[in-house]
Structure 1
Amino acid sequence: MKVCKFGGTSLASAEQIIKVCDIITSDPERRLAVVSAPGKRSKEDIKVTDLLISCAEKYIKTGEAVNEMNAVIARFDDIAKGLGLDGSITEVIAEDMKKRLSGPVTHEGMFMDLLKAAGEDNSAKVVAAYLQSKGYDAKYLNPKDAGLFLSDEFGNARVLPESFDNLKALNDYEGIIIFPGFFGYSKAGDVVTFPRGGSDITGSILAAAVCADVYENFTDVDSVFAANPNIVPDAKAISVFTYREMRELSYAGFSVLHEETLEPVYRKGIPVCIKNTNNPSAPGTMIVKERGVNSDHVAGIAGDVGFSTLYISKYMMNREVGFGRKVLQILEEQGLSYEHVPSGIDNMSVVLRTKELTEEKEKQVIEQIKNELSVDDIEIVPYLALVMVVGEGMRHTVGLAARATNALSKAGVNIEMINQGSSEVSMMFGVRANECDMAIKVLYKEFFN
């Protein structure tokens, strides 16, 4: 069996959905398809998920959101008409939206997830209806009925282990299953979503559960490139990445896959193929456990902004047993996860996601560390970007770090920090956010030109 997942651009219009259904039905092994909410039809368009977020925000604020709800229904109605479907599917979607907006808001995060999930849920209903209209044995399957249970972390859920045993039963289903991505259910029965872009994660979970031969992820590019083509227009197409390489690159800003996607398929050793809905005959990019490195020491360059650094200094820090643990415990108490922790003998830096650092949390962290650990100096510095040089062959190659730092130096890009994991699959450079794109260009030129 092949599990295939289609992103928002692949579901954006009736024309795109017809392409999706042609791809599904062209291979009898494609019996399980995961769909996203309709994305943008043009640069000026609005994604259905963003329409739903606006709808939820309006309802939370005012207690009504009729216009916003109607905008969502109209978008699906336009798609349904383009597919030649009768009005019954639009009526189903309209009733679904009204039901979601019918009750009081007792928990904002819970309500937001309930609304956001309507995009994928109704997208799956439309795709299934279209396939049925063409005579195919296809059905929409709700994640609750399939047994996809998630943690009750609204907007940031993780799959519960029991889900894999539940979903294994999908192997026994006849016909084509159309499965909505992005959300599942808590044990209490509430709709819970993965982080934004989480339909990739749904596809990976299903592929692992059914032990798929391959997980195909259809998007709007022929392959994955060695750098973001919007930054490096002539970036090289890469035919094969390893799981570890793609994990590092996704973390650092590659938008092809959500950074949490690969864990389920990695555990089962299931290959992933990134393909183009608009050009399905192209071979795409494979993501596998191992690849021959040959001369391809560096597989890709990626970077992302939105980080802050917690700088802590204390004389004789290295002699204080448990100092690092206490810092991380304080962060944990504030609900903050760390990204990297470069350190010296008397100082340490903790890289955090800026979006998680509210003004109140920042104040609490600084005060707690000052009072409890008696540090000499502490500050939080925003506007940091992380740029990653990634490749399995790097650990066998001498001088890559020197080449990277020399290239950045010649371009006048100041390095705020350097970090390299013990696996030596990647090197991380912290630079100022306004120099992120320049750093990517410089490093790409050094290693690929």
Structure 2
Amino acid sequence: MKVIKFGGSSLANGTQLKKVLGIVQDDPERRIVVVSAPGKRFSEDTKVTDQLIQLATLVKNKASYKEVYEDIFSRYADIAAELELDGKILEEIESHFDKLLNTRFRTPELLEDAFKASGEDNNARLIAAYFRQSGIPARYLNPREAGIFVTSQPGNARILPESYNFLRHLHDTEEVLVIPGFFGYNENDEIITFSRGGSDITGAIVANGVQATLYENFTDVDAIYVANPNHVDEPQKIHHLTYTEMRELSYAGFSVFHDEALLPAFHAGIPVHVKNTNNPNGKGTKITRTRPKTANIISGIASSSGFVSIHISKYLLNREIGFIRKSAQIFEDLGLNLEHMPSGIDEITFILRKDQLTPGKQAALLYRLKNELRADDVHVEGDVCLVMIVGEGMVASVGTTAQATQALADAGVNLVMINQGASEISMMFGIVEKDEEKAVRAIYDSFYPK
């Protein structure tokens, strides 16, 4: 059995859904289909999920929402008309919205999660109806019925371990099951969503639960690229990555997947294949536990901006027992999540995402670090970008650091920080944000010369 997931761009209109139908019909092993909400039909379009967030905000504020609601409903109506679907499916979607709009939720967060999830939920109903009309024995399957139960953290749900056992019963299905992605149910039978990109998470969870032979993730690109095409002209495609390489690249800015999206599939050792809905017979990118060796030292280059660094200097810091623990405790007390922690003998730097650091928290942080640690100096540097090079080939290669830093130097990019993981398959460079594109392009040109 294969589990397949389609992203929003693959489900944006009837034309795309006809391609999806062909992909499902092409392989009888594709028996579980996880779907997103309709995405953008063109570059200036708005995703249905974003419209639903707007609708939820209006409802929470008791403001007029008729126009936004009608825009959302029209997306489904347009798709149904293009596919010549029976009018009953629109009645079902309208009934779903009526119930949603008249439900009283315990908290504003639960309201927003329920509204966001309706994008996937209604799309799954519509797609199942389309499959049946086209002769496929298909059925919409609600995540509750499937067995997807999660923690009560709106917008950041975590799957409960017992869900994998509940999902096992789907393995022997003879029908094509269409499951909405992005959400599950908590112990109070309330809808809780995963983080954005959550349909990828649902797909990986289901693949793990049913012990699929393959998890296929269909998107709108032919493969994952070595570098962001917005930074590098026509970068090479990556046709095979390891789980670890993908995890590192996703964290550092690869937009194909959220960094936790594929974890359930990875844990079960299930191969993942990223493919293009518009070119389903293309090679795509395979992601597996191991991969064949290639001549390339690095597999990918990723970058992510929006970080700040907190520098602490103190003479003889390396001899002070508990200094790092005490420092980290101050960050924890203020609810700040740390990303990286490069250090020297008399100084240490903490890297964190700057959207956490309000002016009040920054002032409190600097005061406590300076006074409680008796530091010689504490200061903040903002607008930091992290550039990461990743590749299994780095482990057995000499001179990778020298080659990368020389490329950055030749491009006039100054290094704020350099850090390498213990596994030696990744290396991270801290630079100022304005040099992001220049840095990525310089490293790419050095390791992938034309």
Q: What amino acid is aligned across from residue 93 of structure 1 in structure 2?
A: I
Which range is displaced more, 308-317 or 149-158?
308-317
Cα deviation for residue 68 of structure 1 reads 1.6
Correspondence for 2:81 = 81
Q: Deviations over 1:251-274 (max 9, x none)?
A: 111111221122111111111101
Letter in 2 for 1:241: L
AA at the equivalent of 2:65: A
Distance in 2, Cα, partners of 1:364 & 1:108? 29
Superposed counterparts of 1:14-163, under 5 Å:
14-104=14-104, 106-163=106-163
Which residue type is aligned with residue 377 of structure 1? D
Q: Which moved more, 1:299-308 or 1:29-38?
A: 299-308
Where does the alignment leave 5 or more consecutive residues of structure 1 unmatched?
none
How do residues 248-287 of structure 1 correspond to structure 2 at under 5 angstroms?
Answer: 248-287=248-287
C-alpha displacement of 1:41: 0.4
Aligned equivalent of 2:237: 237
| Residues 361-393 of structure 1: per-residue CA shift (max 9 Å, x gap) | 333333333343232322333211111111001
Q: Does 1:296 align with 2:296?
A: yes
Aligned to 1:394: 394
Q: Counterpart of 2:208?
A: 208
Is the contact made by 2:227 and 2:301 (CA closer than 8 Å) also made in structure 1?
yes
Residues 234-255 of structure 1 show CA distances to partners (whole Å, capped at 9, x for unaligned) of: 2111111111111111111111
Identity of aligned residues (%): 49
Q: How many angstroms does 1:102 deviate by? A: 1.9
Partner residue in 2 for 1:311: 311
Task: Quote the residue 2:422 is aligned against.
Answer: 422
The residue type equivalent to 2:230 in the other structure is: N
Q: Deviations over 1:179-234 (max 9, x none)?
A: 11111112222211111111111111111111111110000111111111222122
Letter paired with 2:170: L
Deviates more, 1:115-124 or 1:99-108: 99-108
| C-alpha deviation, 1:63, in angstroms | 4.5
Secondary structure of residue in 2 paired with 1:173: coil
Counterpart CA distance in 2 for 1:88 and 1:363 is 58
Deviations 1:94-121 (A, max 9, x none): 2222322224454222221111111111
Greater shift after overlay, 290-299 or 128-137? Answer: 290-299
Aligned length: 449
Shift of 1:135: 2.3
Q: Report the residue type matching 1:319 in the other structure.
A: R
Shift of 1:310: 2.0
Q: Secondary structure at the match of 1:206?
A: helix
Question: How far 1:173 moved relative to its partner?
Answer: 2.6
Match of 2:173 in 1: 173
The offset of 1:61, in angstroms, is 2.3
Q: CA separation of 1:394/1:166 partners in 2, compared to 1, >3 Å: closer, same or farther?
A: same
> Do the aligned partners of residues 136 and 261 (structure 1) sit closer, same or farther apart at CA in structure 2, a change above 3 Å counting?
same
- For the residue of structure 2 that corresponds to 1:158, the secondary structure is coil
Cα distance in 1 for partners of 2:118, 2:238 equals 35
User: 2:375 matched to 1:379?
Assistant: no
Question: Tell me, which stretches of 5 or more residues in structure 2 are unaligned?
Answer: none
Q: Return 23-32 or 330-339, whichever deviates more.
A: 330-339
CA contact (8 A) 1:200 1:261 kept: yes
The CA deviation at 1:333 is: 3.1
Q: Distance in 2 between matches of 1:385 and 1:197?
A: 22
Q: Give 1:153's aligned amino acid.
A: Q
| Contact 1:301–1:389 (8 Å) recurs in 2 | yes
Question: Following TM superposition, by how much is the alpha carbon of 1:64 offset from its aligned partner in structure 2, in angstroms?
Answer: 4.3
SS state of the match for residue 127, structure 2? helix
One-letter amino acid matched to 1:187: E
- SS of the aligned residue for 2:184 comes to strand
Give SS of 1:293's match.
Answer: coil
1:295 shift after superposition: 1.6
Report the CA distance shift for 1:363/1:121 in structure 2 as closer, same or farther (over 3 A).
Answer: farther
Tell me whether 58-67 or 17-26 shows the greater mean CA deviation: 58-67
**Contact 1:36 1:180 (8 Å CA) reproduced:** yes
The residue number in structure 1 matching 2:11 is 11
Instruction: Specify whether residues 373 and 100 from structure 1 end up closer, same or farther in structure 2 by C-alpha distance, changes over 3 A only.
Output: farther
TM-score by length of 1: 0.96
SS at match of 1:388: strand
Q: Distance in 1 between matches of 2:357 and 2:177?
A: 41
Q: Which digits, 9 at most, give the CA deviation of each residue in 1:11-64, with x for residues without a partner?
A: 000110111121112111000111011110001100001101111122222354
TM-aligned CA deviation for residue 171 of structure 1: 0.8
Question: Deviations for 1:383-424, whole angstroms, at most 9, x for unmatched residues?
Answer: 111111110010111111011111101111111100100001
State whether residues 343 and 349 of structure 1, in contact with CA within 8 Å, keep that contact through their aligned partners in structure 2. Answer: yes
State the 1:338 CA deviation.
1.6
RMSD: 1.5
2:440 alignment counterpart:
440
Amino acid at match of 1:160: L
